[in-house]
Amino acid sequence: MKLTLCASCVLGRSGFAATLRDALNGVAVPAQVATVECMSGCTRPSTLAARAPGKTTYLFGDINESDLPDILAFARLYHDSPDGNFVDARPLGALRLKAIARIPG
């Protein structure tokens, strides 16, 4: 799984990518964390994308540091899902309401 944070958004400039990387290592979820310049989610900054081969790709907006527990829950569920889809999104907490796009794998 690869999680990509917009480096142009406030959260991307704050060093959150390192915080996220450390948190994922702490819960043993294998993931790459990267930043990229502008993800064109400017109407809903800060943006975060999640993708993996053969799985649905997600783009989230309005992400802030308080979303970290929900991002970790998402990462665990996404890792365990064979296709990246979820029967019940409620375990994602507020993150489920921050989805901008779901792109089929």
The pLDDT confidence band at residue 82, using thresholds 50, 70 and 90, is very high
Domains present along the chain, CATH in parentheses: 2-103 (3.40.30)
pLDDT at 27 over 90: no
pLDDT at 59 over 90: yes
pLDDT, mean over the chain: 95
Cα-Cα-Cα-Cα dihedral sign, residues 40, 93, 83, 7: positive
For position 45, what pLDDT does the model report? 94
Per-residue pLDDT of 1-26, as tens digits, reads 999 999 999 999 999 999 999 999 98
DSSP per position, 54-101: TS-EEEE-S--GGGHHHHHHHHHHHHH-SSS--S--GGGGGGGGSEEE
For position 29, what pLDDT does the model report? 87
